[in-house]
């Protein structure tokens, strides 16, 4: 978690991952989620259902960190969602979700 980003007052499971700007987003499958993980019970912003222990999730990069060059490999703010909720999406649909995230998510500082 970093700086408690939020959407409409809801804290979000946001962390950093490596991504190269301008490249298609590669989705890594993480899990199964351990009981007690910080994002257990937190809502997935794609389907609206909570992410639970035993499920698989992924990190969707949506904004380059201030220290990184958006044209190169760097650290990107990324939102955790269910893997299955985004893995089957067409690239334009995924990009639309990323664009939405970048508008919605503000740093809580
Ligand atoms: Zn979901």
Omega before residue 32 within 30° of 0, cis: yes
CA of 39 to the centre of ligand 1 (A): 12
HSE-CB at 17 with a 13 A cutoff on CA atoms is: 17
Please check whether residue 84 lies inside any domain of the structure. yes
Residue 47 lies in a domain: yes
Residue 1 lies inside a defined structural domain of this protein: no
Contacts of 106 (CB under 8 A, 6+ apart): 5, 6
User: What is the value of pTM for the model shown?
Assistant: 0.86
109 inside domain = no
User: How far does the centroid of ligand 1 lie from the alpha carbon of residue 67, in Å?
Assistant: 30
Question: For residue 66, what are the domain limits?
Answer: 6-104
Burial group, residue 18, by CB count within 10 angstroms (0-12, 13-18, 19+): middle
Give me the number of domains the chain comprises. 1
| pLDDT one digit per residue (tens) for the chain, 109 residues | 445 566 556 668 999 999 999 899 999 999 999 999 999 999 999 999 999 999 999 999 999 998 889 899 999 999 999 999 999 899 999 999 999 999 987 765 4
* 50 touches 39 (CB < 8 A): no
């Amino acid at each position: 978690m970093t700086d408690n980003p939020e959407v409409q007052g809801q804290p979000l499971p946001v962390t950093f991952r490596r991504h190269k700007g301008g490249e298609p987003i590669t989705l890594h499958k993480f899990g199964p989620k351990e009981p007690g993980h910080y994002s257990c019970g937190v809502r997935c912003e794609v389907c609206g259902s909570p992410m639970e222990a035993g499920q698989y999730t992924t990190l969707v990069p949506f904004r380059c960190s201030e220290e990184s060059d958006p044209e190169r490999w760097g650290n990107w703010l990324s939102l955790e969602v269910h893997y299955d909720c985004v893995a089957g999406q067409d690239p334009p649909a995924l990009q639309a979700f990323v664009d939405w995230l970048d508008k919605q998510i503000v740093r809580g500082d």
